[in-house]
Amino acid sequence: MELKTVDSFDFEGKRALIRVDFNVPLDKQFNITDDSRIRGALPTIRKVLNDGGSVVLMSHLGRPLKKLKEDGTVDTEKFSLRHTVKHISELLGVEVQFADDCIGEEAFVASAALQSGQVLLLENLRFYKEEEKGDASFAEKLSKHGDAYVNDAFGTAHRAHASTTIVANYFDAAHKMFGYLMAAEIKNADKVILETRKPFTAILGGAKVSDKILIMENLIGKADHIIIGGGMAYTFFKAQGYYIGSSLVEDERLDTAKEVLAMAKAKGCKIHLPMDSVIADKFAADATTTNCESVGIPSGWMGLDIGAKAIADFREVIRKSKTILWNGPMGVFEMEKFQKGTIAIAKAVAEATKLGAFSLVGGGDSVAAVHQFGLADQVSYVSTGGGALLEYFEGKELPGIKAISG
């Protein structure tokens, strides 16, 4: 899908209201630990400023209304976008202004006073319950901040919220468009799913089958190979009658796992499960570990990473692929003892890319892995989306895209 971008509009003397996804991870001192989403939005912001326009940025940060303080009030310190102002200013080379309340009077005074070249960031949209509810009057208020609406928040494109979808109703077709990040995300996702070069391998990991069931169902029939790692692999082993010790399992998903295997077989999609596992006597960084076949994990032990044979097997498949989609780690990546599988997969994806494959990596842990091992520039595209990317590959229409494209 070709998206209409900010290239279609001359922002000279105009205010662009840009929905970005600056839901970035912060450490305890409120330092940004991964600024990819901010960097990803810079080209769009720069285009508006270079045209001679001004910018009002709006975003959410975390889930403040679902994580109230003990006294039941909103934690306006922890979830404040104020923490990001300095870093955005440094990256942009423009002193970014900040408005404490996204629809407060001061915010409207500030956005109305913006001069060409100036940038204003609004406080966390999710301090208002109206944001997630998709409230029309809240969206209409937000719309007053800009002459044109730009959606560049790919990471939040799967949410039908006020700022991501409803606000678009208050702009005519000529005055709403996508940012470059949104366009790039869709273009690269479409390279995987619409312009697929074969063989196509999807690598899916993570803890739960239930999170990945819809994407698996959609990819079977499109992918030649689906590699399954991480905790969810053990539900597949148990579904086939094997002993998995105390490995993670979703007992209520055993039938689903069987159905996936049957469906893949019928459609000629090869499912690869890890032949062997790194097993541990407890879920802890200092656990005692050993290696064993995944089809017979002794009781009291749990699989926490894919083993050496699985790595070799998966690597073989990945190296021969021409299109690769990777979402989800192969093991308990946050503990050093169980990182090997994920690192090896990251390296294999980089190798295949060097051999000419198109590779797209998306989702928290797999993206963290390629960054941590310095491989981010050796894959074709690193997505800023987690849930949004998954839903796109589940074949769903993203509300944030539909609101503008129709």
Q: Among 145, 138, 139, 140, which residue's Cα sits nearest to residue 122?
A: 145
The residue from 53, 155, 205, 363 that contacts ligand 3PG (CB under 6 A) is 155
| Residue 23 touching ligand 3PG (CB under 6 A) | yes
Closest CB to Mg ion among residues 36, 380: 36
The secondary structure of the chain in percent helix, strand, coil, rounded to multiples of 5, reads: 40, 15, 40
Closest CB to ligand 3PG among residues 185, 224: 185
CB of 60 to ligand 3PG, least distance (A): 7
Phi, psi of 119 (to 5 degrees): -130, 135
The three-state secondary structure class of 358 is: strand
d(CA 321, CA 386): 23
| Residue 156 touching ligand 3PG (CB under 6 A) | yes
Q: Among 141, 198, 148, 139, which residue's Cα sits nearest to residue 167?
A: 139
Identified catalytic residue from 15, 19, 37, 212: 37
d(CA 50, CA 43): 10
The residue from 43, 104, 199, 387 that contacts Mg ion (CB under 5 A) is 387
Binding residues for ligand 3PG, total number by CB under 6 A:
8
340-354 and 364-372 are packed helices; what angle lies between their axes, rounded to 10 degrees?
A: 80
Contact segment (CB under 6 A) with ligand 3PG among 41-49, 79-87, 153-161, 297-305 equals 153-161
| Residue 67 touching ligand 3PG (CB under 6 A) | no
Q: Which residue is nearest to Mg ion (CB)?
A: 387
Cα distance from N-terminal residue to C-terminal residue, the chain: 12
Closest CB to Mg ion among residues 59, 118: 59
- In the annotation, is 208 catalytic? yes
CB of 147 to ligand 3PG, least distance (A): 26
Closest CB to ligand 3PG among residues 25, 300: 25
- The residue assigned the tokens 């494209």 is 405
The three-state secondary structure class of 132 is: helix
In the complex, which residues of this chain contact Mg ion (CB under 5 A)? Answer: 387
The catalytic site residues sit at 37, 208, 364, 387
In the complex, which residues of this chain contact ligand 3PG (CB under 6 A)? Answer: 21, 23, 63, 155-156, 159, 386-387
